[in-house]
Structures are given as structure tokens and as C-alpha cells.
Structure 1
Amino acid sequence: MLPPYNCDLNPIEYIWNLIKRRVADKNVKQLESEIESITLEAVASITKEDWVKEINHVKRIEQEYWQREIFEDDDSFRFIINTGESSSEEENFTDSCSEMSGIEVLDSD
């Protein structure tokens, strides 16, 4: 499962970074009196193409995260812990699980 909030998966974070770079490129004199106009100019310079580029970038990162998670899940194993309380249905489930390779059934007895 992907994290509910991750700056890598939020396109606005990349847009803010783009704005900051554009401000830094224009703010060569580093005059406080010009920072507001330079910032407004940088914000206004963001285009639909900039958004599309950053959204596609986020989609690629998200896909990489999912692929990484799928590979990690493939290497994991599962096990069942018997708490001592069982019904015939649970016993059948436990018996079928113990026949599966890679799964160890643990009893609490």
C-alpha cells in the first residue's frame, strides 16, 4: 500500500520546485523589492504543459513504487498462528494451509 501522503506523489511539490527555480534564476540581484514581482511572474509562467509533465512524472514514480511493493510481496511469506480456539472450519483451513509450500502453521500448544 502506498503512503497516504508522500511529497514524491504530489505534483504540486514539483510545480513549487519549478517556481522556486525560476525565481532563483531571475533573482540575480537579490533585491527584496523585486522578489514579489519575480515570484508572481514565475507563478504566471507555469503552463498546462508544465502540469502535464509533472503529473506524468508522478505517475511514473507511483508505478515504480507499486512495482517495488509487488516484488517485495513476492519475497514475503505468511504464517498462521493457532490460538488454541478452533472450530472444525478453522481446523480444515489450518490443514489446507499446512499443505501449501512456504507456509508454516504454528500451534499455541
Structure 2
Amino acid sequence: MNRKNFENWFKTQLVPNLPPKSFIIMDNASYHSGLLEEIPRKSWTNQRLTEWLKKKNIGFPEKAMKDKIWSIARRNCPSEKKYFLNEYVKPLGHKNLRLPPYHCQFNAIEMVWSECKRKYDQYISNFKGSPSEVLTTWERVISEISIDHWQEYVFHTEKVIEKAWEAIQVCDAYDILPLVITTDEDDDDEDNISDFSSDSDNTGEID
């Protein structure tokens, strides 16, 4: 999978089959996260940075070194990323929700996908695994995932999200007092460490 293939599937197969005002939940896979417009990075070559500045009609010294060019580009970078697919669905009345990184448990499709793979492994063992058999088996598997299954997975995911939200509220940083450690000249930690070290050297072991 890559960005080109995913965006083609998204535009030609997913979106045309969505009900009005659908809510599309996606993780942060790189091919989900193509930007509407690339944001300059320090790793870009000097030529690429200057081309971006020219495209934006942003002035810069013609013979400036890369550090100077990068500092100008960085000051003029957009403050917020705009994802291509987010912007694509807006005029169509849909909305994308991007999950936090490494939180796949917040997406019901993970359980659907797991069920699909289990069924596929079960059915494909009866065939030789030719391309046509693979495709036919996947079509069979997908057709067997019912609306009721989906709904159960969605309910389960909602409960997972609710529990996570409750845990976050309990651990709200505003309610946690800071831990302050003070030291002074009379602190005898060094003496204690010295005593511990000499005891360890004498006995040859640490209890």
C-alpha cells in the first residue's frame, strides 16, 4: 500500500459508497496522512527550500547559506498541517477523525480486520492459493462480516474509549502536585554512599 493507491481507493470506492455526512476514522499510517501541501523540513536540500520560498513569493538573499534559507522557510511554515483527504471530504459533507498515534484500540476496524484474517486463514487452507482463489476467498470473508458484527465492535470500542477518558480525567496533570526535591550543604547522601560502597567492598556482596 502507498499513498497513491490508498487515495485512489478512498476517492473511487470508499467515498462514493458512504451515506451522507459520514464520519471516517483513520489511524496515522503514512499513506493516510498525505498533506495538501508539503511543509518544509530541515532535511530538504537548499534548492528545494529556495523553490518553496519562490513558490510562496517569500524573499530571501540569493547567495544565502542553507541555515539562513531554512530559518526563513521555518518562520513562514503553516502553523497547522492540512491533510489532503481531510480537505477532500469537506465539500462532500463528510469528516475525517484521525486517531492518536499508537492507539489502534480506538478503532473498531481493527477487530473486524482480525476476524477477516482468521476466516481467511481457515478457508484458504482448502485451496492452493492461486490469485483467483485468494481474491474469491477474500470476497467471501468480507461478505460474511455482518452489520451486527460491526455494531458489536463499535459498541466495544466506544466502551474502550470511555474507560480511557475516565482514566485520563483521574490522572489529569492539573490535579497532580509537583514533586519538589530540595538539597542543601548538610545533605549527607554522599556520606551514606561512601559507607555503602565500603561495606560492599568488604563483604563482596550486596544484600
Q: What's the offset of the Cα at 1:30?
A: 5.6
Q: Which residue in 2 is equivalent to 1:69?
A: 168
Spell out, residue by residue over 1:43-102, the C-alpha distance to the aligned partner (whole angstroms, 9 max, x if none). 111111111111011011101101211221275137xxxxxxxxxxxxxxxxxxxxxxxx
1:4 pairs with 2:100: yes
Query: What does residue range 22-37 of structure 1 map to in structure 2 within 5 Å?
Result: 22-29=119-126, 31-33=128-130, 34-37=133-136
1:50 pairs with 2:146: no
1:15 pairs with 2:112: yes
Distance 1:68 1:30 in 2: 47
Alignment TM-score, normalising by the size of structure 1? 0.60
Distance 2:127 2:106 in 1: 32
Distance 1:45 1:15 in 2: 11
Structure with more contact order per residue of length (Cα contacts < 8 Å, sep ≥ 6): 1
Secondary structure at the residue paired with 2:172? helix
Distance 1:30 1:9 in 2: 35
Aligned length: 76
More helix by share: 1
Q: Which has the larger radius of gyration?
A: 2
Secondary structure at the residue paired with 2:177? coil
Q: What's the offset of the Cα at 1:4?
A: 3.2
- With 7-16 and 24-33 compared, the bigger mean Cα shift is at 24-33
Distance 1:29 1:51 in 2: 27
Aligned mate of 1:59, from 130, 135, 158? 158
Distance 2:119 2:129 in 1: 16
Q: Which runs of 5+ in 1 are unaligned?
A: 79-109
Structural RMSD (CA): 2.0
